[in-house]
Structure 1
Amino acid sequence: MIGRLTRYVRKNGGLTSSVKSFRYAVQRYGLKPVLFRSVANEAERRIFTYEDWIEQLETKYITSEVQAEIEQLKIKPLISLVIPVYNVPEKYLRECVDSILNQYYQNWELCIADDCSTEPQVKKVLKEYEAKDNRIKVVYRKENGHISKATNSALELATGDFIGFVDNDDILKAEALFEVIKKINEQPDVDMIYSDEDKLVEDTGKRVDPYFKPDWSPDTFMSQMYTCHFAVYRADLVNEIGGIRVGYEGAQDYDFVLRFTEKTNKIAHIDKILYHWRIIPTSTAGGGSAKDYAFDAAVRAKYDAIKRRNLDAVLVEHPELGATNIKYRLKAEDFISIIIPTKNHGADVKKCIDSVYQKSTWRNFEIILVDNGSDDEASLAIFKDLQAKNV
């Protein structure tokens, strides 16, 4: 109840206006309907779950319509999906490969490297799929080299225009590659494409923990790996940077993207959930502490990136969050642009700008005021005066 009252007061702009609003509602509708409506609204907010989002808001696909759209696309590249495999449970491996076989877009090849698995069912399942579809290629490594070497072995099989990295227990949604090639047709020069994701509970297969990712942000990416498993990269650039680096196991994909994005800024985000990441105790999906060595490897990859980019910066580590904060050392000659968007509110803008000049110890800056169609005469006069002062 206290929480509801607090939100009500905030929503209505303070205690006085909230009391007036409540009194008016009671006079018009009566006390009981007003209280019932408040409780009902709170309940409605509380019970909208991720399952509701899936049911009500997630894009639904009709196979015939998707196939017709694929036929109309001008660019239909071969996509090489790369999977390193090691002692994965048969059920997970089958679900992963079947999710690729069931793609709407069928111009793909699956390149698998078995990293000398000791569980006999792995080779048996892979042999079965090899015989089933000639687009599935498998190399059986003679010694265990861990995930980086295994991924590179799979990369050696790839002949596609684009490379997609998949974990051996991921599940791609049927529309995953379709959405990827749609993006390629929209942006033919794109070099990297990533999507949103969610996770699967190990025992029940329930979809949980959706990750609606931001668009590409180099600085945010230096803080944490957010593009994750299923992403697609232009093959020429993958080869140019030498694939996956050995020695960064646990964060090898993070190190890869840090190096890849130093070669291009043509990066696209598909804001749809296109794959499921399985939650198991040894996976980083199970929590930030599930793989401590992964965090350590990520920190080393970031310091490598800082050195390659000649940045004067340090990392503040937050292992409990699985993230870091990058802090750049300012130089006296660094020029800072302060951007203030507004419409009207001239007095507030002036107060803001005055505070910058009065309180800032940094003088090498500019202020850019972005006016979004102000029509208040007093505000326009203030903006004109500020402009005369070179704001």
Structure 2
Amino acid sequence: MPKFIDFMDSSPLVTVYIPCRNYGRFLQKCVDSVFEQLYTNWELIIVDEASDDDSAEIARDVCRRYPDKTTFIQNKKATGLQRLANTVLGISKGKYMVRLDADDWLDECALLLMVAKLEATPHIGMVYGNYFYTDPEGKIIGIERRHKLGNEDTVGHLPPHGACTMFRTRALKAVGGYSEDVNAQDGWELWYKLYKRIGAANLDIPVFYYRQHGSSLSHDSKRLLVARTRIFDRISEALEGDYKPKNIAVIPVRESYPGFEGVPYREYEGMSLLERAILTAAQSDKIDRIIVSSQSQKVLDYAQELAETGRVPEHLRVLRDEDECSGRNIPIRDLMINAGSYYAEVEGVFPDVMAFLSMHAVHRRVEHIDKALNVLRITESDTVVSVQEEREPMFTHGENGLALFNPGRFQDLTYDRERLYRFNGSIIATWWEVLKEHHLFGEKISFIEMSTEDSYQIKNASMLINNSNQ
């Protein structure tokens, strides 16, 4: 390990912390990258999360050799990333703070560039850069060029990576640190807690090496989506004031499709499709009224029967004009306006938000509905749609035939600038004024991502049969 020279004693102290759980095989390279920084006024805190490999031994050896620069914390029981970060926040001496994961490592210019940016722009409180993707052995396999938040991404759906984003320590303390009931996606929490309080800057240069390997926590997509949902819940709670927007859910119901008759009465896991859709919507305390909309009186009679027998809560029912629905499909915007207008006739006021909920999305949960409504408010978007990320290679027409749109997929990499999403048909939440004055989506569209399993929809009778045989 090279000897470090404190040639910048008068410049701000930076706290670098490394959480480590069974990453001993990577830890030495990670630590070395801190000692090799051109910017040397830093302190290093290594936190071992109950590892059963040699992680603690490596960390102790570093601290024995450099006691003035390093601190070692050993947790006998894993505490989780957010609680660990709060522990570091409480003992940090640095004006700035940055997390470095134990399986990654810094470019030698990383701290120098990030500190210089923050010092030169005092109104900015957070800085992040691009990064190299590497294979398990450390060979570079790609470069991620992050979007410039507030410029290329005004909605904020691509917040800085939780690791190797430098921020002002005081700013995070001012917002209460990290939420300890969320154990992932700290980059998302940092961004949504701080982006309106402090600005963010992007360095268009790679500042760290992001190792891709089978045990990487970032590969657990379902866990990350759950954590992201909880983050939006917490932020939404902080927005609650004396006025509560009137959120109306509309469930459009078509009785039959070619080859698929009696759709709303069909059962999935012991419950009819319509009953399941109503009950899921009713579980949300953010939904004020539910409207079942159909051109079939028989469907509405069935919905009424469900309510009268106590199988679902009371709700509104509106019969759509058959002439209006003469085509195979009625435009979603039209049926949402129809339902919202009916609500206004009944209640005397128009809704604030309309949420389209597909009856066919049998794995949609109340968390998805709540998240869509939370994101609509937090991001100040016109509309929020539910999507599923398209992870397969996709092509578009080019001058020489088909052009590969997302070549990173053949390296098992998902570059931000190559991400593709498709509407999964489950949820559309939009402001009433957007529906009335614009088209369905408006101009600023945000999204919630749902997993492949949660995006599942019953589109034909065979899907019901296959489910019953499982």
SS in 2 for 1:194: strand
What is the percentage of aligned positions where both structures have the same residue? 19
Q: Is the contact made by 1:76 and 1:181 (CA closer than 8 Å) also made in structure 2?
A: no
Letter in 1 for 2:157: S
**In the alignment, structure 1 residue 277 sits paired with structure 2 residue 210:** yes
Residue equivalent to 1:145: 79
Cα distance 1:178–1:281, how it changes in 2: closer, same or farther (>3 A)? same
| CA–CA distance in structure 1, aligned partners of residues 131 and 182 of structure 2 | 24
| CA–CA distance in structure 2, aligned partners of residues 99 and 242 of structure 1 | 30
Matches within 5 A, 1:65-80: 76-80=11-15
Which of 307, 332, 347 is the matching residue for 2:433? 332
Which one is further off, 183-192 or 161-170? Answer: 183-192
Which one is further off, 99-108 or 122-131? Answer: 122-131
| Consecutive unaligned residues in structure 1, runs of 5 or more | 1-66, 337-359, 366-391
Cα distance 1:315–1:237, how it changes in 2: closer, same or farther (>3 A)? farther
Q: Is the contact made by 1:193 and 1:269 (CA closer than 8 Å) also made in structure 2?
A: yes
Cα distance 1:158–1:209, how it changes in 2: closer, same or farther (>3 A)? same
| CA–CA distance in structure 2, aligned partners of residues 302 and 76 of structure 1 | 36
Q: Shift of residue 251 of structure 1?
A: 1.8
TM-score, length-normalised on structure 1?
0.59
1:113-150 Cα shifts (integer Å, max 9, x gaps) = 2222222x112111111012221111222322122222
**In the alignment, structure 1 residue 316 sits paired with structure 2 residue 386:** yes
Residue equivalent to 2:18: 83
Residue equivalent to 1:10: none
Q: Is the contact made by 1:75 and 1:185 (CA closer than 8 Å) also made in structure 2?
A: no
| CA–CA distance in structure 1, aligned partners of residues 11 and 385 of structure 2 | 42
SS in 2 for 1:191: strand
Residue equivalent to 1:297: 227
Cα distance 1:268–1:178, how it changes in 2: closer, same or farther (>3 A)? same
| CA–CA distance in structure 2, aligned partners of residues 87 and 272 of structure 1 | 30
Cα distance 1:332–1:221, how it changes in 2: closer, same or farther (>3 A)? closer
Q: Is the contact made by 1:244 and 1:253 (CA closer than 8 Å) also made in structure 2?
A: no
Letter in 2 for 1:101: F
1:276-334 Cα shifts (integer Å, max 9, x gaps) = 1110113255x5xx442112211332344355456546451425569889976234389
| Consecutive unaligned residues in structure 2, runs of 5 or more | 241-375, 378-382, 392-413, 444-470
TM-score, length-normalised on structure 2?
0.50
**In the alignment, structure 1 residue 128 sits paired with structure 2 residue 198:** no
| CA–CA distance in structure 2, aligned partners of residues 252 and 361 of structure 1 | 35
Letter in 2 for 1:199: Y
Cα distance 1:173–1:228, how it changes in 2: closer, same or farther (>3 A)? same
Q: Shift of residue 262 of structure 1?
A: 3.7
Residue equivalent to 1:223: 157
Q: Shift of residue 214 of structure 1?
A: 1.4
Q: Is the contact made by 1:197 and 1:277 (CA closer than 8 Å) also made in structure 2?
A: yes
Matches within 5 A, 1:95-114: 95-114=29-48
**In the alignment, structure 1 residue 189 sits paired with structure 2 residue 189:** no
Q: RMSD in angstroms over aligned alpha carbons?
A: 3.4
Whose helix fraction is larger, Structure 1's or Structure 2's? 1
Cα distance 1:182–1:281, how it changes in 2: closer, same or farther (>3 A)? same
